[in-house]
């Protein structure tokens, strides 16, 4: 069984999706709402898959002062998860440990594989709303035959990184993440496989990629991320020849 790790920030204005308001019609608070919706969909996908869900939250000391609310990050994230899942007990929560993203990923993955004897661990980016339960289960099947499975995204980034054995995580998310992680897995003697490309939503350009995909899938009667799709529909954001527009 694969443990799906979401390294999540508490949904606070300016802390999450900080580049989106400057590159799209969304305000800061609307960008926060979108992050929360995508995080809910990621939690649902992981909790309903054949694996388990672990939400990794930052310690309060790591939150920049301008985004401090006096409320623990864990409490904010537990509230989001409780709203997303039928049974919030399906989610496990642990604090992040490490001074950088590489270190936090490395500490979590290595701890779960070595200390808790998990067979596979996958780091799932909550900003990849099209990553559905079936994709996670497909990746878990690949991890039965491969030592690492990576999900490519734009700009050489990854939306998914699964492992059955630890690698050297120091600098492992150096751009381009996809190639760097592949090299580290190979250096550790591992076989690597890949998932299909999925967009990560960080900027307005990413949103321009996501929106028509959601609309087309909904029109075709295919599975869509419920919370993300509903939230964007409520905002009335759509793509035109002139870019993203409000209804």
CA dist list (Å): 19 to 24, 95, 139, 205, 241: 9, 25, 30, 11, 22
Helix (H) or strand (E) holding 5: strand 2-7
Q: Binning pLDDT at 50, 70 and 90, where does residue 247 land?
A: confident
CA dist list (Å): 13 to 68, 105, 210: 10, 24, 21
Helix (H) or strand (E) holding 78: helix 73-84
Portion of the chain with pLDDT greater than 70, in percent: 100
CATH architecture type of domain 2-199: Alpha-Beta Complex (3.90)
Domain boundaries, the chain: 2-199
Helix (H) or strand (E) holding 194: strand 192-194
Q: What is the pLDDT of residues 148-162, one digit of tens each?
A: 999 999 999 999 999
6-26 mean pLDDT: 98
Closest to 89 measured CA to CA, from 99, 81, 77, 97? 81
Position 200 pLDDT exceeds 90: yes
Q: What is the pLDDT of residues 54-86, one digit of tens each?
A: 999 999 999 999 999 999 999 999 999 999 999
227, two tokens: 């919370």
Position 94 pLDDT exceeds 90: yes
104-130 mean pLDDT: 98
Predicted TM-score (pTM) of this structure: 0.97
192-219 mean pLDDT: 97
Dihedral sign (CA 168, 5, 137, 200)? negative
């Amino acid at each position: 069984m694969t443990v799906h790790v979401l390294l999540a920030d508490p949904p606070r204005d300016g802390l999450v999706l900080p580049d989106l308001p400057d590159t799209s019609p969304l305000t800061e608070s609307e960008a926060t709402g979108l992050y929360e919706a995508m995080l809910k969909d990621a939690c649902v996908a992981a909790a309903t898959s054949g694996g388990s869900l672990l939400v990794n939250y930052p310690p309060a000391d790591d939150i920049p002062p301008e985004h401090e609310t006096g409320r623990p990050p864990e409490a904010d994230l537990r509230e989001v998860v409780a709203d997303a899942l039928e049974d919030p007990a399906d989610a496990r929560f642990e604090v992040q440990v490490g001074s950088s993203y590489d270190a936090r990923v490395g500490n979590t993955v290595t701890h779960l594989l070595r200390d808790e004897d998990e067979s596979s661990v996958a780091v799932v980016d909550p900003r990849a709303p099209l990553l559905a339960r079936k994709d996670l289960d497909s990746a878990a099947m690949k991890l039965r035959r491969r030592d690492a499975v990576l999900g490519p995204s734009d700009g050489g980034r990854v939306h998914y990184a699964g492992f059955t054995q630890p690698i050297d995580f120091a600098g492992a998310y150096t751009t381009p993440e996809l190639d760097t992680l592949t090299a580290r897995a190979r250096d550790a003697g591992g076989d690597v496989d890949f998932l299909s490309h999925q967009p990560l939503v960080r900027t307005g350009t990413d949103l321009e990629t996501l929106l028509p995909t959601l609309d087309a899938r909904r029109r075709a009667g295919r599975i869509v991320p419920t919370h993300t799709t509903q939230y964007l529909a409520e905002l009335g954001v759509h793509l035109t020849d002139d870019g993203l527009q409000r209804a």
